Amino acid sequence: MIELKSNLTRRGFLSSAAAACAAAAQTRTAISHKERVDGALKGKALDRPPFSFWHHFGLEKEGPERHAQATIQFHRQFGTDLVKVMSDFPYPKPGGAWYDLKVLDNPFPAQIRALELIREGVGKDAYFVETIFNPWNVAEKLSSQKEVAELKQTKPQTLADALQVIARSEANHAKRAITAGASGIFLAIANAQPEFLSPEDYAKFSEPFDRMVLDAVRGVPLNILHLHGGHVYLDHFTKPWPAAAINYSVQGTGVSAEHYRKNYAGVLMTGLDEKNYRKLETPELKKQWQAAQEGAGLRFILAPGCSVPNDSTDAELSRLPRLLGATQSG
């Protein structure tokens, strides 16, 4: 049992990034989606940055096969370099109180089946990562935001115990996801902001359990921290975490890639305005891309700060890959 505790320069490549990318473009050769992502992880000059975007398909009730089919088709149609797999199957509810939980060996069997199918559909072509919502978020889905906040005040150790059980179950899922072919997990953290927890309370009530999930798959190449929200404690995540990249919203937080790069050396996965994506015409997309890449340097994946609107049309989604010259089919 985890006991509660009271708690717990950039200039090298920024200026050369544009020139290096221009040189790479002059000797452009066709490279695979995987090679392009590998290049970003290593800070290599590329013909263009790898990119990804995603939204919720809402097909869980139709089963893992349909969910996988939609994911594979989305990648093939829009030519994403990195496939971010949505994961909306619910965590199993206990029979009694929501916090009366037991560690589960396979909490999301339908999602594991979907990942196996996605591996067969895109695994040779592109890396894919599995989305996992952090234990605090799962607790809120099992009960409510209000109930979790109240339990934190009235029975903090009960909450900590429940979060640990969820974290151990999600760690089991993370390992299964890697076995199924995922190259990492995309850990969504939405409670590291004042609307939910103070910095001290995040470090006490959430960080140990978030790290438990990531530590289960430490060392895989593509663990990504998704820092959700406009007031997220971005500076808290510049210290070492077992993740290769951070995904956050430049527009939502008002923190540019250039500013964040000053204190973070890993891959920045950001740049595009997820909220207004449907309205972004090609010139604005290009402007956001170039600003983010100039600020982030070579260790960069172009992406929105969260999912783009679920009702985005094919024409709206196609603007970005066409701008980048990404391979599309279908």
Q: Residue 114's domain is classified under what CATH number? A: 3.20.20.210
In a domain, 1, yes or no: no
Q: Tell me, what's the pLDDT at 239?
A: 87
Number of domains in the chain: 1
* Residue 95: domain span: 19-324
In a domain, 103, yes or no: yes
In a domain, 250, yes or no: yes
Q: Tell me, what's the pLDDT at 29?
A: 55
- Residues 234-261: tens digit of each pLDDT: 999 998 999 999 999 999 999 999 999 9
In a domain, 329, yes or no: no
Phi, psi of 278 (to 5 degrees): -60, -25
- Residues 20-63: tens digit of each pLDDT: 444 444 334 579 999 999 999 999 999 999 999 999 999 989 99
Q: Tell me, what's the pLDDT at 13?
A: 40
In a domain, 41, yes or no: yes
Q: Tell me, what's the pLDDT at 123?
A: 84
In a domain, 46, yes or no: yes
Determine the residue type at 87.
Answer: S
Could you tell me which of 161, 163, 236, 226 has the C-alpha nearest to residue 198? Answer: 236
In a domain, 64, yes or no: yes
DSSP 81: S
Determine the residue type at 68.
Answer: A
In a domain, 6, yes or no: no
Could you tell me which of 215, 229, 307, 300 has the C-alpha nearest to residue 264? Answer: 300
* Measured distance CA(250)–CA(256) in Å, rounded: 5
pLDDT beneath 70, residues of the chain: 1-29, 327-330
Token pair recorded at residue 269: 């996965």
